[in-house]
Chains A and B, each alone.
Chain A
């Protein structure tokens, strides 16, 4: 199975900060990389698909980049509603559609 490693596992940031989360795959996954946001007690929500495509309705302050094994999720100016946990996920290799371990974004 392909392993997905996210870093950092948590971070503290202030409103208005630029935040970057990285995700590394154990082997090349082309651009089959998706990002999700999850708030406490809620279901995950798709933010970015295919590494850099913004899901409909998601604010443009979110962006994704990368290809192959290394990927990045960037929040250009952190807003109060962005404090959440973020997960990357690969759909390149079935049967296991693996997730990263998550990055919790907390208020500084």
Chain B
């Protein structure tokens, strides 16, 4: 069974940093791109960024709203993806979800999701 579990959320002050983890199981982690999506309270879904598999260079892409502040990385030996969030702003407050980006399927969907972890940026 494919599972993704996020961790690392919490309360952080503006300007500080936080690192989220996404621990995967039930599939060959290294073969898939991993995606991060966030949802501010009462709002819709916002794509944050993704990291490609090593076979595709392990490169990353980011939304304009987080580019230069957030960094996605992966440790295939541990089946974990990370979202390093620096210079946090109050508007980064959201539930953060990781998901598997299935580049092998037509449409390239986000086919499995974690349960999410809440990040609150407040003084």
Contact = CB atoms under 8 A, between A and B. Distances in A.
A55 B105 CA distance: 11
Contact of A98 (B35, B47, B114): B47
B116 A49 contact: no
Interface stretch (A12-20, A39-47, A72-80): A39-47
Contacts of A102: 44-45
Q: How large is the interface on B (under 10, 10 to 19, 20 to 34, 35 or more residues)?
A: 20 to 34
Grouping DSSP codes into helix (H, G, I), strand (E, B) and loop, the A interface class, with mixed when no group exceeds half, is loop
B11 interface: no
A22 interface: no
B107 interface: yes
Interface in B65-123: 97, 101-102, 105-116
Given A44-B45, A44-B97, A51 B113 contact: no
A5 interface: no
Contacts of A97: 35, 47, 50, 101
A53 interface: yes
A46 B61 contact: no
Given A43-B113, A94-B61, A99 B107 contact: no
A46 B62 contact: no
Contacts of A94: 61
Contact of A34 (B37, B44, B63, B110): B110
B116 A43 contact: yes
Interface of A: 1, 31-34, 36, 38, 42-46, 49-51, 53, 55, 87, 89, 91, 94-102
23 contacts: A1-B64, A31-B107, A33-B107, A34-B110, A36-B110, A43-B113, A43-B115, A44-B45, A44-B97, A46-B110, A49-B105, A49-B106, A49-B107, A55-B109, A89-B110, A91-B101, A91-B109, A94-B61, A95-B63, A96-B61, A96-B63, A99-B47, A102-B45
